[in-house]
Amino acid sequence: MKPSKISRRSFVNALPLTVLATPAGLSGALSRGAPDEALPPCMNPSAFSSNADRAGEAGVQEVDQHGFAGPFSPEEEAAVAASPLAREIAGLHGQGYSCSEMMLLAVLRVYGLPENHVGAAGVFGGGIARGDLCGLLTGGLMAIGLTADAWFQDRRAMRAASREASNTYWDWWAAVGDIHCPGPMESHPTTEMFVRMTQRTGLKVEEVIRGMRAKVG
């Protein structure tokens, strides 16, 4: 796993980057059957072919079994079935959203927060459109910040709780997956694999947000 050289300050400074594609534009491209090149990397299966080609068939099987996109265990299947966030994010697939937008929008909907902030995630699909920080990671971090801001009245308490939650989420990514997109643990050459990856991440975001909300006074 390649360690991240991106600081949280650099993450925030990346916000002004040009938007890769608007949700409406992506939706139109999908409905027209646009070529893979028209889609952001996180929604483009061919963007991950280099990993598979280098690893060969055995390498793909290894990723399939152990990566974010591999089959669910019985315990994961039960958790996904019981998770509003996992169900919501799966339902957003194919609607023209990048992985970062999917994660943020799913959280906003599940927790009843205004959806007008989802545009902030537009620049983060496909690893900030540069194959850098994974959109599911950045979308989850934004979701943590927005939910904390909505629930905590005291700014100091909000920052402390959201920082603890974001550190937990970041450390989880660093321990089990690839911070950068695309990484071998994030390979998803099929729709089913991509959806499983988003749902696994959704379960973790849900767990982290639930722990943060328990701290609200």
Q: Which domain holds residue 139?
A: 45-213
> Between the CA of residue 35 and those of 26, 27, 31, 32, what are the distances in Å?
11, 13, 11, 9
Residue 74 lies in a domain: yes
Token reading at 185: 């643990």
Residue 66 pLDDT exceeds 60: no
Q: pLDDT digit string (tens) for 81-108?
A: 999 999 999 999 999 999 999 999 999 9
pLDDT for the residue 176: 81
Residue 15 lies in a domain: no
Residue 165 lies in a domain: yes
In whole angstroms, what is the distance from residue 109 CA to residue 84 CA? 10
Q: Give the type of residue at 192.
A: E
Q: Ramachandran region of residue 85, left (φ > 0), alpha (ψ -120 to 50) or beta?
A: alpha
Residue 17 lies in a domain: no
Residue 44 pLDDT exceeds 60: no
| Model pTM above 0.85 | no
The number of folded domains in the chain is 1
Mean pLDDT, rounded, for 6-28: 38
Nearest alpha-carbon partner for 103 in 146, 135, 71, 148: 135
Residue 21 lies in a domain: no
Count the Cβ atoms, other than its own, within 10 Å of residue 84.
13
3-state secondary structure of 123: helix
Count the Cβ atoms, other than its own, within 10 Å of residue 65.
10
Averaged confidence pLDDT in the chain: 75
Mean pLDDT, rounded, for 107-117: 94
Mean pLDDT, rounded, for 59-72: 57
Residue 65 lies in a domain: yes
188-207 b/e (C-beta count within 10 Å ≥ 16 → b): bbeeebbbbbbbbbbbbbbb
In whole angstroms, what is the distance from residue 12 CA to residue 63 CA? 31
Count the Cβ atoms, other than its own, within 10 Å of residue 180.
21
Residue 104 lies in a domain: yes
Asked whether the beta carbons of 66 and 164 are under 8 A apart, the reply is no
pLDDT for the residue 74: 93
Q: pLDDT digit string (tens) for 185-214?
A: 555 678 898 899 899 999 999 999 999 999
- The β-bridge partners of 133 are 180
Q: pLDDT digit string (tens) for 177-188?
A: 788 887 655 556
Residue 178 lies in a domain: yes
